[in-house]
A = this chain, B = another copy of it.
Amino acid sequence: MQRMKATISYDGSGFSGYQVQPDQRTVQSELESALRKMHKGTPVKVTGSGRTDAGVHAAGQVIHFDTPYSIKEENWIKALNTMLPDDIVILKVEQVPEDFHARFDVKKKEYRYRVLRTEKPNVFKRAFTYHYPYQLDVGAIEKAAAYILGEHDFSSFCSAKTEVNDKVRTIYEAEIIVEENELVFRFVGNGFLYNMVRILGGTFLEVGSGKRSADDLPAIIESKERSNAGKTAPAHGLYLWSVTY
């Protein structure tokens, strides 16, 4: 058996999230179904770097799977893209050592949250950005972002639904990218809790629109209390951008 690592992108709009769930269309189930076809009916288990929720997109999710086949990397890409529906695209396939693990070996993840600032909604971006047509103070958001850098217990930015106990994570980069009609919140960290980027995004929008002050961030973090942070921003603005090993 050979272990293969694949970098994939997907439009989250049509999926009930990444992970297999009974009777739901998920990214993992589509991947496993394509691989099973390639393996003549033999089930192939796919392991992802982590889950993404319904509606959340991926520009560079990473998965691994084991196969008895020796196929050139370029041909894996072609074969899988032919088998897969067109809302999943395989970008890269590499053979990796047998002990590579897409989830356990993650060093860094990058997430981005795209906010569309135009006055009117944009039909072409409605599934790919969160439309927020209100005034935003970008400087205030940048100040808020600086407070989350470093190692913190992010309990305040974690959905109560989580089963994780250790809520300490390190954020290496928190950048606000200003584009023509968009504001993009970019986060790089050693890991992210359930809904963490969406709650950070929602909190940043409240800071930007003046509902709270950037200087409230340290107290929100210290309180370790979800109810002190902002709303969870909608899933369709969120992208798992890349995973580093």
Contact = CB atoms under 8 A, between A and B. Distances in A.
A177 B128 CA distance: 24
A9 interface: yes
A123 interface: yes
A59 B120 CA distance: 12
Contact of A124 (B57, B88, B91, B121): B57
A89 B121 contact: yes
A191 to B, nearest CB: 25
Contact of A126 (B86, B91, B121, B126): B86
Contacts of A32: none
Interface string A114-150: 0000001111101010000000000000000000000
A114 to B, nearest CB: 10
23 contacts: A9-B122, A9-B123, A9-B124, A10-B123, A11-B123, A11-B124, A11-B126, A57-B123, A57-B124, A59-B124, A81-B121, A86-B121, A86-B123, A86-B126, A87-B123, A87-B126, A88-B123, A89-B120, A89-B121, A89-B122, A89-B123, A91-B120, A124-B128
Q: Report, nearest first, the 6 A-B pairs whose CB atoms are least far apart.
A: A11-B123, A9-B123, A89-B123, A89-B121, A91-B120, A124-B128
